[in-house]
């Protein structure tokens, strides 16, 4: 079973540097994170890139959809997934790769993501964790590359969580830490699933969640959470 770190830097260390950029990954590393979380989607020409929103407007000022741009048209601050992986190799960072497909490209994005990992993921790094809010992406990732651990992202864990997790053969649940109840945390851990929470930036909240059985805290400020859990 995959060994999760206690803390993962969200989109790098987005409290301190522009999210999902190489600078953000370096900042997370400087602040003690051993893993980061990133969001991967495809450009028009099928290149996997690291970008959270459908549009580039909020993070780069460019008012265009990622799905309508070629990789060659991207602003330099937006890394390709390949560039991000090379950066992780330099820094020795593990990664929670969130598959964040544009509408209608759920399976394709997963297939390209795992093919890229198979080609480029450095053997010296810990194995990555895939995650997605899209069940179809996780199912496609499992079918194409079952060797990569998968976590189902769920904003609020409801009664159907286990059926959904089983349907995609998930290894873990990554959920909104502000909505997770102690009862659900125990249920998930007792069922043998890994349990991670996002996005927790308060040390006391992180400690309480770990006390409930949470194994991994995804945070914009990984240094704050590392200090709180020490
Ligand atoms: O993977 C954890 C977290 O990143 C999920 O939500 O919207 O920040 O990608 P979001
Ligand atoms: Mg994410």
The model's pLDDT over 163-185, given as tens digits with 9 standing for 90+, comes to 999 999 999 999 999 999 999 99
Which of 6, 44, 52, 207 is the catalytic position?
52
Q: Ligand 1: which atom is nearest the Cα of residue 39?
A: 9
pLDDT of the residue at 1: 77
Tokens of 27: 């900042």
pLDDT digits (tens, 9 = 90+) for 47-56: 999 999 999 9
Ligand 1 centroid – CA 218 distance (Å): 9
Helix axes 222-229, 203-211, angle to 10 degrees: 50
pLDDT digits (tens, 9 = 90+) for 182-210: 999 999 999 999 999 999 999 999 999 99
Residues near ligand 1 (Cβ within 6 A): 10, 37, 39, 52, 98, 131, 153, 174, 198, 218
In whole angstroms, give the CA distance from residue 210 to residue 43: 37
Residue 46 predicted with pLDDT over 80: yes
Domain extents in the chain:
7-229
> What pTM, to 2 d.p., does this model score?
0.98
Superfamily per CATH, domain 7-229: Phosphatidylinositol (PI) phosphodiesterase (3.20.20.190)
pLDDT of the residue at 31: 98
Atom 3 (ligand 1): residue with closest C-alpha?
198
């Amino acid at each position: 079973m995959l060994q999760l770190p206690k803390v993962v830097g969200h989109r790098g260390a987005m409290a301190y540097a522009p999210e999902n950029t190489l600078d953000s990954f370096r900042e997370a590393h400087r602040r003690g994170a051993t893993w980061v979380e990133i969001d991967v989607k495809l450009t028009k020409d099928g290149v996997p890139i690291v970008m959270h929103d459908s549009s580039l407007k909020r993070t780069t000022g460019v008012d265009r959809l990622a799905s309508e741009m070629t990789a060659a048209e991207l602003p330099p601050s937006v890394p390709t997934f390949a560039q991000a992986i090379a950066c992780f190799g330099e820094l020795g960072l593990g990664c929670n790769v969130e598959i964040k497909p544009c509408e209608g490209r759920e399976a394709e994005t997963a297939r390209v993501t795992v093919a890229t990992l198979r080609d480029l993921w450095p053997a010296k790094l810990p194995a990555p964790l895939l995650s997605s809010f899209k069940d179809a992406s996780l199912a496609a990732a499992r079918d194409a590359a079952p060797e990569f651990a998968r976590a189902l992202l769920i904003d609020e864990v409801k009664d159907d969580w286990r059926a959904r997790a089983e349907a995609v053969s998930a290894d873990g649940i990554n959920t909104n830490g502000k909505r997770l109840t102690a009862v659900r945390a125990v249920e998930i851990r007792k069922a043998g699933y890994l349990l991670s929470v996002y996005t927790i930036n308060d040390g006391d909240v992180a400690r309480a969640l770990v006390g409930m059985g949470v194994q991994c805290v995804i945070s914009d400020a990984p240094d704050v959470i590392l200090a709180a859990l020490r």
